[in-house]
Amino acid sequence: MTISKGDSIPEVKLAKATADGPEQVQSSEFFAGRKIALFAVPGAFTPTCSARHLPGYVDHAADLKAKGVDEIACTSVNDAFVMKAWNEADGSSDITMLADGSGDFAKALGLDADFSGYGMGQRSQRYSMIVDDGVVTEINVEDSGEFDVSSAEHMLGQL
Give the catalytic positions in this structure: 49
Query: What is the C-alpha to C-alpha distance for residues 19 and 61, in angstroms, rounded to an integer?
Result: 20
Query: What is the C-alpha to C-alpha distance for residues 109 and 7, in angstroms, rounded to an integer?
Result: 10
Contact of 55 with 95, CB cutoff 8 Å: no
Nearest to 154, CA basis, from 88, 67, 83:
67
3-state DSSP assignment of residue 135:
strand
* Exposure string for 58-86, b = 16+ CB within 10 A, e = fewer: bebbeebeebebebbbbbbbbbbebbbbb
Phi/psi at 128 (5° precision): -140, 155
Surface-to-core class of residue 15, CB atoms within 10 Å of its CB (0-12 exposed, 13-18 middle, 19+ buried)? buried
